[in-house]
Structure 1
């Protein structure tokens, strides 16, 4: 099994890279999706979040009000750390289950937004970073995603810097340009991953 960490700042395009890799045959373990699952109604995770932040973070139907919770934690680093201390162990346990079920010959891509922030790079055989300039991230967040600029900046500020992410990268995918420039880079990275997984000497793929 080849264990790959995939990360990138918000708005960098990591989700699209993850989708492309899954199309090539990677087993993708999506930390964001799992993070939603572990706080669904009726879960111990949601109960712990409510205990920490109060019932104001619930919708009238009893589900987690993500925009409300986000506005609280991304404006306060202590509250963000509290939330992470609840959610991250649950995500880690579920991710380990999914990885174990993938099989010994699989290329398992762990899609982890906070890989750099949480010092997780050593857990993987290599790390792929989807890179974009902060100005590009901001434009995508306030444009296609229609996020308020102050919220977008707060979310970006809560993450690692571009330089910190690049420092842990084995391979870098430049997603500062148009979408049609992305797929060839991802394909090149996939070729590199399959070469490593099969024990062949890695090529010169740096994407």
Structure 2
């Protein structure tokens, strides 16, 4: 099973995307529908809302008067929090029931309007954000839903900003154009990413990668992608982690790299590493078969456990190392030394591009050819660390 979080601001057209995904075969769990269900007449949820906000939020026939309640909560942050404290736990329990009823090979899309606002993004291996510009969203709310412009704008402004949603988005779907364009984008996402992602998770298979090293220009989004991945990992691994970091070339601003996010987890021992690796399927990562090993700068082989991406849209290497291995410190030292030395970044970039352009039979061969430079760089980094008083920060 693959669980996908779907969100977007009010008026962005999230329901259009959810409907198309359902047509393609997804199991859609709609938090808005559940939210209505848990405060229907006669439910404990509605009784709790009336107790908190008074009988003025009821219609004459005893149902929830949503416009009346909306005027209260969308103008007052404290009152909105009070409503959320009642409704969100009820919605969460019902969501879990529906997800649990889906089949083992399902792509479950959880349509949650406040996914970002409520800090739920780390609970999904993939998050889709549906976007439309604010002026278009406002037009839709006023013209299509008949809302008063001031009320519509208040609801828009009460939600997450575009920047906050971008930070959470693995997939950013623009729904500001023709419906056919949006449906085509959803179809491509379903075929090229969601279906193979689910199959890879179920079969514990790493998504395919290029057989040779391909060096990409520096991407400023790599840092954000690394933090998003680490949030998912930390949620799953919990207090088994001693530390977790984005390292490797994509963690160094301005450095060309293979488009692979490398993260490093430090744990107490290799048994813990194996346990964490097995659980990371919840974060969209699958453990690679057998135990892997590193060769440290002294030529000593060091065991580690390696997990990688099941998602064909984002390559990831997750290195899980024992705290007793010196390799984890070297990985952070090299990262921080490069960050502090732009000339070394240029030197390393030239080496990487040159080696990638040479014939090589595999990515492993490319990596082996870099080893002499990396060992020399670590020697320089050691001298810098001693002079600067560098320590791997928590």
TM-score interval for Structure 1 and Structure 2 normalised by the shorter chain: over 0.9
CA distance in 2, matches of 1:31, 1:108: 13
1:180 Cα offset (Å): 2.1
Q: Partner residue of 1:174?
A: 174
In the TM superposition, what whole-angstrom CA distance separates every residue of 1:17-75 from its partner, at most 9, and x where no partner exists?
A: 00110111100010000000000011000000000000000011001011111111111
Q: Partner residue of 1:15?
A: 15
In the TM superposition, what whole-angstrom CA distance separates every residue of 1:72-102 from its partner, at most 9, and x where no partner exists?
A: 1111111111000000000000000000000
Question: Which structure: greater strand fraction?
Answer: 2
Q: Partner residue of 2:68?
A: 68
Rg (Cα) greater in structure: 2
CA distance in 2, matches of 1:119, 1:204: 23
CA distance in 2, matches of 1:178, 1:137: 14
Q: Partner residue of 2:33?
A: 33
CA distance in 2, matches of 1:78, 1:173: 32
Q: How does 1:130-141 map to 2 (within 5 A)?
A: 130-141=130-141
CA distance in 2, matches of 1:204, 1:42: 45
1:189 Cα offset (Å): 1.3
Which structure 1 residue ranges, 5 or more long, are not aligned? none
Which structure 2 residue ranges, 5 or more long, are not aligned? 201-206, 209-310, 315-394
1:178 Cα offset (Å): 2.0
CA distance in 2, matches of 1:180, 1:139: 20
Q: Partner residue of 1:111?
A: 111
CA RMSD of aligned residues (A): 1.2
Of structures 1 and 2, the one scoring higher in RCO (CA 8 A, sep 6+) is 1
1:204 Cα offset (Å): 5.2
1:181 Cα offset (Å): 1.5
Q: Partner residue of 1:148?
A: 148
SS in 1 for 2:64: coil
Q: Partner residue of 1:89?
A: 89
Is 1:198 the counterpart of 2:203 in the alignment? no
SS in 1 for 2:84: helix
In the TM superposition, what whole-angstrom CA distance separates every residue of 1:171-206 from its partner, at most 9, and x where no partner exists?
A: 11111112222100110111110010111545559x
Between the two proteins, the alignment pairs up a number of residues equal to 205
Higher mean C-alpha deviation, range 69-78 or range 5-14: 69-78
Higher mean C-alpha deviation, range 196-205 or range 101-110: 196-205
CA distance in 2, matches of 1:136, 1:52: 35
SS in 2 for 1:49: helix
CA distance in 1, matches of 2:53, 2:187: 43
SS in 2 for 1:147: coil
CA distance in 2, matches of 1:152, 1:178: 23
TM-score by length of 1: 0.96
SS in 1 for 2:17: helix
CA distance in 2, matches of 1:19, 1:177: 17
